[in-house]
Amino acid sequence: MIISLSIIAITVAYLAGSIPSAVWASRLFHKIDIREHGSGNAGATNTIRVLGWKTGIPVLLFDLFKGWLAASMPNLLDAAPAGSEQMMALQIACGMAAILGHVFPIFAGFHGGKGVATTFGVLLALHPLLTLTCSGIFLIVLLISGYVSLSSMTAVSMFPVLLVTLFHARSVIFIVFSVIVALAVIITHIPNIKRLLKGEEKKFLRRKKE
């Protein structure tokens, strides 16, 4: 029974992650494919830049929600003993399935976004307080630098560090997962890192000229 519920949960998590909110919103409301504009990324940041806040914010919230829902699903289905390492493993598996779905969505030709917002949703379900702490780090770096890419990499890199040092996590699988997530986000941002080093990265927040 537990195995059946696990398979169902992981499958549904992938399908939920595969819902390409940015692609569908851009096609439905603006008659374009967001992947053909701006950075070419099917995510909230590119959607806000190209199509504005009214389209971008709902996309951001939906991508967050599908990550949170995926990681919460094992608890909702009572697929494993609450608080057990087995439950944590299943939550992480579902979260990874949702992130994979966002990056390689079956409903959008397997060409999606980088999965930062969906990853945030997953982490929010797994550890709300730490995730909100890292959100504060993200905002501080964004306000100082203006770069979403740098802010995302900094915040996600601090997650495993704070998980061990400040929150004293004991779940080995959670710690390993947090490190993998941090590395994955950095790897997907390699093009951004190259642009940052060259001074070619576009700022999300720009100061108005006087």
Give 189-201 pLDDT, tens digit per residue. 999 999 999 999 9
In angstroms, the CA 126 to CA 66 distance is: 14
Mean per-residue pLDDT over the chain, rounded:
92
Burial of 124 per CB tally in 10 Å (0-12, 13-18, 19+): buried
**Tell me, what DSSP letter sits at residue 189?**
T
- Pairwise pLDDT comparison (208 vs 50), residue with the higher score: 50
Whether residues 121 and 136 fall in one domain: no
Asked whether residue 163 is assigned to any structural domain, the reply reads: yes
Q: 140 lies in which domain range? A: 127-205
- Say whether both 117 and 13 belong to one domain: yes
Cβ contact 131:124 at 8 Å: yes
**Which tens digits make up the pLDDT trace of 43-65?**
998 999 999 999 999 999 999 99
pLDDT band at 142 (very low <50, low <70, confident <90, very high): very high
**Which contiguous run of DSSP H or E holds residue 181?**
helix 172-188
Residue 210 lies in a domain: no
Question: Does 92 map to a domain?
Answer: yes
Q: How far apart are CA 174 and CA 65, in angstroms?
A: 20
Q: Which helix (H) or strand (E) holds 41?
A: none
Residue whose C-alpha is closest to residue 95's, from 155, 181, 182 = 181
Quick one: pLDDT at residue 210? 33
The dihedral sign for the CA sequence 82, 177, 191, 133: positive
- The per-residue pLDDT for 205 is 57
Instruction: Choose among 200, 207, 204: nearest CA to 149.
Output: 204
User: Do residue 104 and residue 132 come from a single domain?
Assistant: no
Q: How far apart are CA 33 and CA 30, in angstroms?
A: 8
| CB distance 148 to 141 below 8 Å | no
Between CA 153 and CA 157, with CA 156 as vertex, the angle to 5 degrees is 80
Residue 176, pLDDT above cutoff 90: yes
Q: Are 54 and 81 found together in one domain?
A: yes
**pLDDT tens digit string along 64-96?**
999 999 999 999 888 888 888 999 999 999 999
In the predicted structure, residue 208 carries a pLDDT above the cut 50: no
- Look at residue 1 and tell me whether its pLDDT is greater than 90: no
Tell me, what's the pLDDT at 63? 97
Q: Can you say how many angstroms the Cα of residue 65 is from the centroid of all Cα atoms in its chain?
A: 10
What band does 206 get if pLDDT is binned at 50, 70 and 90? Answer: low
131 and 115, same domain (yes or no): no
Q: How many domains does the chain have?
A: 2
Distances (CA, A) of 209 to 29, 206: 31, 9
pLDDT of 146 over the 50 cut: yes
Last residue of a domain, one of 91, 125, 159: 125
DSSP state of 108: G
Q: Pick from 125, 152, 173: which residue ends a domain?
A: 125
Q: Are residues 113 and 21 in the same domain?
A: yes
* DSSP three-state, residue 116: helix
Counting every residue written for the chain, the total comes to: 210
pLDDT band at 102 (very low <50, low <70, confident <90, very high): very high
- Identify whether the C-beta of residue 114 lies closer than 8 Å to the C-beta of residue 41: yes
**CA of residue 49 relative to chain centroid, distance:** 18
